[in-house]
């Protein structure tokens, strides 16, 4: 750790609350490496909606907390007993792990990905969490694969009816592109005409402005009364009731977020009239083993390198101005990915 300083800049949360609790510090201790860990010098840090949940306390973590779940940069030091890894100091890497809102983060080597030459550091920081969420949810939760679902050979846009809420957002834009590439018929919802247009350009063949009334009726009209076979809902509380109305018989409702607040407890009997499959998946529980992490990150990077998936960066904020990034994200002012730079 010869060139690594003892202290570093970063953002600390000492109490839960609004964006004002995100405190810029210049003298946080650089983490001491434990067995099997790697110290990553973060160049670009991804902002994700989950960061706001840890800030507000919707999701619990011990305080004080350096939050942040992903970043990309370079290996700064290797910890003791680092066996089974060929990582070297200076390697360009990305990772999904806690405590990313700082100059350095200690990451278990098993979670560190060396970046292929065709992937920029910005593409990695902007795609890992949201892209892998979209990819694992399309493949594992919805069971849709490239060229069609469940082994079927489908033409583009001839597959199942899928609906993506917040389709111009970080996860949403990745979902619409991956679903379109899998041959699904994709309906996107978004909160403005510009956002709808963005979702359309990325693969949503139909778009509905979610700020207007009658969302479920519009989706039923688009699908000729059939409804959506798969609904991807990261908005949560505000859209759950509409989901139950517009989902098709035997449809799969993948509820995976709380942008508008958490979905209240559900009476399981409400699933019966349409035999709905209701899921609440979490990315990190699809990426548990090293094989899973490597398999899906390779597929994601291949999709990006072959141009099938574009990673769109809304803005890159100085880490010091992270409060502005959180305000923009929670204020529905953003599309695609928000990055933080040191």
Q: What is the DSSP letter of 137?
A: I
Q: Between 14 and 212, whose beta carbon lies closer to ligand NDP?
A: 212
Strands 144-145 and 148-149: antiparallel
141 touches ligand NDP by CB under 6 A: no
Q: Between 105 and 335, whose beta carbon lies closer to ligand NDP?
A: 335
- Restricting to residues 313-332, name those near ligand NDP by CB under 6 A: 329-330, 332
Closest separation in Å from C-beta 6 to ligand NDP:
33
| Among residues 12, 154, 220, 238, the one that binds ligand NDP under rule CB under 6 A | 238
- Restricting to residues 255-274, name those near ligand NDP by CB under 6 A: 256-260
The residue among 293, 271, 272 whose CA lies nearest residue 283 is 293
191 neighbors 169 (Cβ within 8 angstroms): no
148 touches ligand NDP by CB under 6 A: no
Q: Between 238 and 305, whose beta carbon lies closer to ligand NDP?
A: 238
How many helices (H) and strands (E) in the chain?
9, 17
Stretch that binds ligand NDP, among 5-13, 175-183, 244-252, 278-286 (CB under 6 A): 278-286
195 touches ligand NDP by CB under 6 A: yes
| 157: Cα separation from own chain's centroid | 24
61 touches ligand NDP by CB under 6 A: no
CB-CB neighbours of 111 under 10 Å: 17
41 touches ligand NDP by CB under 6 A: no
What Å distances lie between residue 274 and 165, 255, 269, 331, CA to CA? 21, 17, 10, 35
Q: What are phi and psi of 321, to 5 degrees?
A: -100, 30
Q: Between 24 and 59, whose beta carbon lies closer to ligand NDP?
A: 59
187 touches ligand NDP by CB under 6 A: no
The residue among 131, 46, 88, 169 whose CA lies nearest residue 302 is 131
The three-class DSSP label of residue 324 is helix
The three-class DSSP label of residue 231 is strand
Q: Between 108 and 281, whose beta carbon lies closer to ligand NDP?
A: 281
188 touches ligand NDP by CB under 6 A: no
Closest separation in Å from C-beta 126 to ligand NDP:
11
**Residues paired with 277 in a beta bridge:** 252
Closest separation in Å from C-beta 147 to ligand NDP:
25
234 touches ligand NDP by CB under 6 A: yes
Distance CA 309, CA 211 (A): 27
Please give the helix or strand (H or E) that residue 148 lies within, else none.
Answer: strand 148-149
Binding residues (CB under 6 A) for ligand NDP: these are 48-50, 130, 133, 166, 168-172, 190-191, 195, 210, 234-235, 238, 256-260, 281-283, 329-330, 332, 334
């Amino acid at each position: 750790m010869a060139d690594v300083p003892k202290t570093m800049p970063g953002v600390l949360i000492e109490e839960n609350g609004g964006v004002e609790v995100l405190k810029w510090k210049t003298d946080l201790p650089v983490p001491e490496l434990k067995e099997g860990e790697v110290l990553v010098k973060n160049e670009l840090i991804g902002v994700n909606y989950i960061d706001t949940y840890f800030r507000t306390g919707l999701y619990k973590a011990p305080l004080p907390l350096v939050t942040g779940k992903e970043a990309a940069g370079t290996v700064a030091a290797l910890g003791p007993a680092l066996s089974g890894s060929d990582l070297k100091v200076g390697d360009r890497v990305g990772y999904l792990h806690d405590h990313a809102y700082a100059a350095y983060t200690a990451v278990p080597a098993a979670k560190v990905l060396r970046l292929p030459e065709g992937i920029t550091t910005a593409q990695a920081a902007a795609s890992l969490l949201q892209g892998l969420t979209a990819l694992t949810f399309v493949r594992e939760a919805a069971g849709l694969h490239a060229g069609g679902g469940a082994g079927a050979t489908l033409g583009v846009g001839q597959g199942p009816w899928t609906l993506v809420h917040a389709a111009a957002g970080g996860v949403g834009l990745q979902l619409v592109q991956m679903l379109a590439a899998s041959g699904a018929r994709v309906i996107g919802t978004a909160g403005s005409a510009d956002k709808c247009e963005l979702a359309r350009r990325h693969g949503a063949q139909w778009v509905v402005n979610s700020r207007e009334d009658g969302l479920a009726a519009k989706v039923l009209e688009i699908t000729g009364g059939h409804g959506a076979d798969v609904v991807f809902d990261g908005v949560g509380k505000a859209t759950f009731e509409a989901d139950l109305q517009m989902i098709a018989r035997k449809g799969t409702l993948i509820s995976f977020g709380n942008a508008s607040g958490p979905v209240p407890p559900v009476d399981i009997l409400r699933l019966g009239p349409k035999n709905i499959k209701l899921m609440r998946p979490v990315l990190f529980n699809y990426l548990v083993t090293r094989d899973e992490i490597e398999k899906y990150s390779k597929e994601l990077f291949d999709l990006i390198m072959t141009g099938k998936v574009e990673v769109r960066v809304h803005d890159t904020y100085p880490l010091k101005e992270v409060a502005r990034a959180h305000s923009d994200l929670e204020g529905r002012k953003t599309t695609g990915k928000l990055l933080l730079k040191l």
